[in-house]
Amino acid sequence: MLGGVGMGPAVLERDRNVPETFCYPRKMSNCTMIRKLSEEEIADLLDLESLLPVIADAMVKIENDEVECPPRPHTPIGEGLDSELGMELTMPAYIHGEEVYTTKLLGIFDQNPKRDLPTAKAQIAVKDAETGLPLAYMGGTRVTNSRTACMGGLAAKHLTSGSLRVGVIGAGSQGKWQTRGIAAGSDVEDVRIYSPSDSKYDAAETLDSELDAPVDAVESPRDAVEDADIVVTGTTASEPTFPEDALAPGVTVVAVGAYTEDTQELDPAVLENADQIFGDSPDEVRHIGDWQATDLGEDDIRPYADVFTGDAERQSDDERIVVESVGSAVFDAATSGLVYEKAVEQDVGSEFSLETAE
């Protein structure tokens, strides 16, 4: 199987009618053509509803130790130049049994907004797992946003029920994408979005035009989370983003913004008063600011994968559940593999070669 992850009924059926002229793993192992995919082309190929089970299966693969995903090196960039240092992250991953493996290259340059450029920009290389030959090079923004959106989407699908009232903290990229992820797999009654900046108004207008539910910008974090069935946080905050006492019984909280010990979105009480806590990578979650601010122990968090294997579920309507996500290159591998397969099947993108002409 190519692109998705093989785990029972959750895996999508794939069309195998691939023209022989395309570079396709194990069909043309000596092919030197590389498929280039733009962000726009990826957007046309990738839909969140289809991606949800792929990411769920990827989490199960991680938990079963059926992946290769080394710690990502952080390389300072720009020493000797007349500018502040940037950072390059290299994120390779391989899912056992898949026909491709991937490496995401992520540059983070905090001074870029002053240049009218994005702070972070990613690209993904896809290579043949049997030969090591390059197969595709694609933009990484849509892939990253989509696979991260699945964290909220899967929580809504598996840990809530009914038509959902959604509270969103953060009006940037992930605030919007978490909302899209939730709507992809669940019915949404309404959405309230908060940010301390005026970006909340633009975000609300954008989402309101996309969803079959009203989306409103609100003036405080409390207004966003009160009476919400699911709350998502997607910020770069270093201190709690909403008051714990505003949460309703039975709420599911999904936090995707904190990824270092210096970043924190949740009040310690949100975690300490939760009935169940899940992490996409529990070992890494224990090192982020959200967790470090609590008195919780190692056994107080369990793998998010348990939800998808049937080993964990919501126990009551009043139970509070927290999902912490720090992300993984494995999710990029699963998503970009799926994108590559669809691109080949539908003949999307352009091709180029790095070989010297004879």
Question: pTM, whole model, 2 decimals?
Answer: 0.88
The residue extents of the domains of the chain are 8-143+330-353, 150-327
Confidence check: pLDDT of 254 > 60: yes
Read out DSSP for 233-301? E----BS--S-GGGPPTT-EEEE-S--STT-B-S-HHHHHT-SEEEESSHHHHTTSHHHHTS---GGG-
| pLDDT category of residue 259 using cuts at 50, 70 and 90 | confident
| pLDDT category of residue 7 using cuts at 50, 70 and 90 | very low
Minimum mean pLDDT among 27-31, 62-66, 129-133, 284-288: which range? 27-31
Q: What is the pLDDT of residues 70-80, one digit of tens each?
A: 988 889 999 99
What distance in Å separates the CA atoms of residue 102 and residue 57, rounded to the nearest whole number? 17
Whole-number pLDDT of residue 358: 56
Whole-number pLDDT of residue 30: 54
Whole-number pLDDT of residue 118: 86
> Comparing 255 with 3, which gets the higher pLDDT?
255
What is the mean pLDDT of the segment spanning 237-258? 96
Whole-number pLDDT of residue 190: 98
What is the mean pLDDT of the segment spanning 295-309? 96
| pLDDT category of residue 31 using cuts at 50, 70 and 90 | low
- The yes/no answer on whether domain 8-143+330-353 falls in CATH 3.30.160.100 is no
Q: What is the pLDDT of residues 318-331, one digit of tens each?
A: 999 999 999 999 99
The rounded mean pLDDT for the chain is: 90
Confidence check: pLDDT of 19 > 50: no
| pLDDT category of residue 22 using cuts at 50, 70 and 90 | very low
| pLDDT category of residue 120 using cuts at 50, 70 and 90 | confident
Beta strands (DSSP E) in the chain are 33-37, 67-68, 74-77, 86-95, 100-108, 120-128, 134-139, 164-169, 188-194, 215-217, 230-233, 252-255, 276-279, 302-303, 321-324, 350-353
Confidence check: pLDDT of 152 > 60: yes
What is the mean pLDDT of the segment spanning 129-156? 96
Whole-number pLDDT of residue 84: 86
Whole-number pLDDT of residue 355: 81
CATH class (in words) of the domain with range 150-327 = alpha beta
